[in-house]
Amino acid sequence: MVSDSEARIPRSKSVKSLLKTAGAILLLSGIGAVAALAGTTYDQCIYALNASASGALSISGSADVNAASNCGVIVDSSSSSALTISGSAKLTAKYIDIVGGYSRSGSATLSPTPQTNSTSQPNPLTFLIAPTYSQCTYTNFSISGSTSTTVNPGTYCNGIKISGSASVTFNSGTYILVGGGLSVSGSAMLTGSNLTFYLTQNSTYSYSQYHDVANGHSHGD
């Protein structure tokens, strides 16, 4: 089960300089193919599962998160500012359902208008078994500058850090991030398909979530 100490981003078709979560869990991607294994079909692609956080889903700067007509956004927080969007950021989805409310500032746009006071949705991936690992494949892994590179599945101790204008392609598979989380900054672009990011921790590396302080774009289905 996904808790506040772990997060999964399953089968993401593209993750490009995305968005951030604040005290919440984010599931990103079209998960229908995965969920179908459990006999259920979903059309949501972004989940923020924290039940009470302000800014459970937070988008800022010039980030452009575009799920178009393909999938919906679910924010389970009951906070009056469960979803926050600012600057010139954009969020476009099939629908946006929020248990609480939302805060918008600057020239930020939301399409369609979010449905507030929605019913809380359960974690759709509770049927999955957490991946296991025995040792680090990489430690303190980072990519910077204008590098264009391909990254392979494995166990990343102290996470993955990407900065500058790097262009990174993630090969299909499972990425176990033991501490450190996934950190993206600058104008870095991340692309991949059939991906699972599993964020966890151990006694050496402390848990961290997905952090994005970049100005970029995301298109998912």
**150-34-5 Cα angle (round to 5):** 75
Phi-psi category of residue 33: left, alpha or beta, with phi > 0 → left and psi -120 to 50 → alpha: alpha
Which pLDDT score, from 0 to 100, does residue 69 have?
65
Which pLDDT score, from 0 to 100, does residue 42 have?
64
pTM here? 0.63
Provide the percentage of residues in the chain whose pLDDT is more than 70: 74
Residue 95, burial from CB neighbour count under 10 angstroms (0-12, 13-18, 19+): middle
Which pLDDT score, from 0 to 100, does residue 149 have?
94
Spans of the chain, pLDDT less than 70 = 1-42, 68-69, 209-221
Pair 96, 71: CB distance under 8 Å: no
Cα 101 to the center of its chain, rounded Å? 20
What is the distance between the alpha carbons of residues 87 and 59, in angstroms, rounded to a whole number?
9
Which helix (DSSP H) or strand (DSSP E) does residue 157 occupy? strand 154-162
